[in-house]
Amino acid sequence: MADDTSQKHTAFNRHIPAKARGHMMAARHEMRKSWEALLPPGFVEHRRTARREVLLAVRSLVDAALEHMESDEETKS
């Protein structure tokens, strides 16, 4: 999957001039800033914190599933 993404980026970089890519990146940055200006103060920080907590929860679920699998393997052996 990572190879597919890097191939797309390589193809993009090969066909789009560096100056155009720079303008697109600047436009993306400015659009992000404009959205953040519309949102209440602290929203972006809370969103990032919430995203981190969700990822930690998923990590905990994966760890628990792996432990369960390992304990099942030990009882079968």
29 and 49 share a domain?
Answer: no
Domain, as residue range, for 32: 1-38
pTM beyond cutoff 0.85? no
1 and 30 share a domain?
Answer: yes
Categorize the per-residue pLDDT at 72 as very low, low, confident or very high, splitting at 50, 70 and 90. confident
30 and 51 share a domain?
Answer: no
Residue 64's pLDDT is: 97
Q: What percent of the chain has pLDDT over 90?
A: 60
| Mean pLDDT across the chain | 88
Residue 22's pLDDT is: 93
5 and 20 share a domain?
Answer: yes
Within a 10 A sphere around the Cβ of 44, how many other Cβ atoms? Answer: 13
- Split into its structural domains, the chain has a count of 2
* Residue with more model confidence, 46 or 41: 46
